[in-house]
Amino acid sequence: MKSENAENSGRPILFLMMNMFIAMLGIGLIIPILPEFLKEFGAGGKTAGYLVAAFGLTQFLFSPIAGEWSDKYGRKIMIVSGLVLFTISNLVFALAEQTWVLYLSRLIGGIGAASMIPSMLAYVADITTEDKRGKGLGLLGAAMSLGFVIGPGIGGFLAELGLRMPFYISAAVGAVATIGSVLFLSESLPKDKQLAARRSEQKKENIFLQLGKSFQSSYFIMLVLIFTMTFGLANFEVIFPLFVDAKFGYTPRDISIIITVGALAGTIVQAMLIGKLISRFGEKKLINWTFFSSAVTMVLMLLSGNFWYMLVLTVLFFTLTSIMRPAINTLISKRAGDEQGFVAGMNNAYMSLGNIFGPAVAGTLYGMHVNAPYLFGAIVLVLSLFLSRVESRRSLKRVAA
């Protein structure tokens, strides 16, 4: 069955890439227009942070459930359900007249992402052989990155037609993707495997027990670094449009250009140079230098509002974090041994926690002082550098012993 699916995997993977692209596009659309949009509700940085955190919260809580349902009821129904929720989320956001409706929209969107993303990853595993799986997952990852890169740019330009227009367009595209998936995406998980999963009495540990187990692992500090890295990145992305709007008077178009160019530069570096950089310098050096340089970049953001100055710093920040993430992931994978599945799940969990707490803390600090989120983010990244160096010394001692 797997070999037959593998031979005909091209079209399904193309559909999955389109769906992933649409999901990430919808997340990225909000970034450049958020400052102007929230002014309609008399809201500011705290609300912006909590809106992004709300999305991360439901994604974190529902991902394990959605993954289990994907095994029991099939990949297609979960992917389609996720697209439906994604479409509803954007439509609700576009129609919102009160702040609580915005929160409802993002909570729905997080559940949609939880339904889609694990099921898409499992779908690729279903239809590819082991030697082709890396390529399939790589294409899915590329679609994810491209959606996030293009999202802010499209959001900024569509906002010139009206602040709510990006969400209407995103909802319409989501509806088209839903219909296309219903009509043309076949189920990848055989019925007998679905029935076996439903009959299974083996209960999976809940996410909180798994987090507790990770505290005892030899790679715990590396997982903490995943959290702090994601915390810093989410801190930067959520506050940036509000920061440059309030402090320097940037327009949605200015913001979309800077975010799009920065994210695109990071994606190119990650795709073309990361392997060479790891081979040349090693994971530990890259992790230490990128944490330090990212912290410095955050502080430099406070010194000038010149457009080109800000563009260069944003490109630098995205490039550094694009190097940092795979370097940490590679080192964790090397330390995990036979626990690759568990560590992959924990990697996602710590990343989700960073996406929850980073925006929430950043939004709260922004309400106190416009510069506070970036100063605090820089402190978090410097502390991460300290943790990384401590972990390096411990690993050397373990090797010597």
What are the pLDDT digits (tens) for 289-334? Answer: 999 999 999 999 999 889 999 999 999 998 888 888 778 877 877 7
> Residue 177 has what pLDDT?
85
The DSSP code sequence of 297-319 is: HHHHTTS---HHHHHHHHHHHHH
**Cβ atoms of 233 and 321 closer than 8 Å:** yes
Instruction: Compute the distance between CA of residue 161 and CA of residue 150 in angstroms, rounded to an integer.
Output: 18
> Residue 296 has what pLDDT?
95
CA geometry: angle at 83 spanning 50 and 226, to 5°?
45
Tokens 């992917």 locate to: 79
Out of 3.40.390.10, 1.20.1250.20, 1.20.1090.10, 3.40.50.80, select the CATH number for domain 1-204: 1.20.1250.20
> Residue 4 has what pLDDT?
47
Question: In the structure encoding, which two tokens stand for residue 323, read together?
Answer: 């190097």
User: Which residue in 321, 288, 256 sits closest to 389, CA to CA?
Assistant: 288
What are the boundaries of each domain within the chain?
1-204, 207-400
> Residue 322 has what pLDDT?
80
pLDDT averaged over 10-residue windows placed end to end, the chain, 401 residues: 50 78 74 79 82 85 80 86 92 91 92 83 73 65 71 78 85 87 80 77 69 80 87 81 87 83 80 80 88 93 92 91 81 69 70 84 88 92 90 66 53
Q: Yes or no: is domain 207-400 CATH 1.10.3720.10?
A: no
3-state helix, strand, coil in the chain (%, to 5): 85, 0, 15
**Cβ atoms of 54 and 103 closer than 8 Å:** yes
- The burial of 133, by beta-carbon neighbours within 10 Å (0-12 exposed, 13-18 middle, 19 or more buried), is given as middle
Instruction: Please state the pTM of the whole predicted model.
Output: 0.74
In order of 63, 344, 357, the CA distances from 203 in angstroms are 16, 19, 29
Instruction: Compute the distance between CA of residue 239 and CA of residue 149 in angstroms, rounded to an integer.
Output: 17
The DSSP code sequence of 227-271 is: HHHHHHHHHHHHHHHHHHHHHH---HHHHHHHHHHHHHHHHHHHH
Let me know if the fold of 1-204 is the same as that of 207-400. Answer: yes
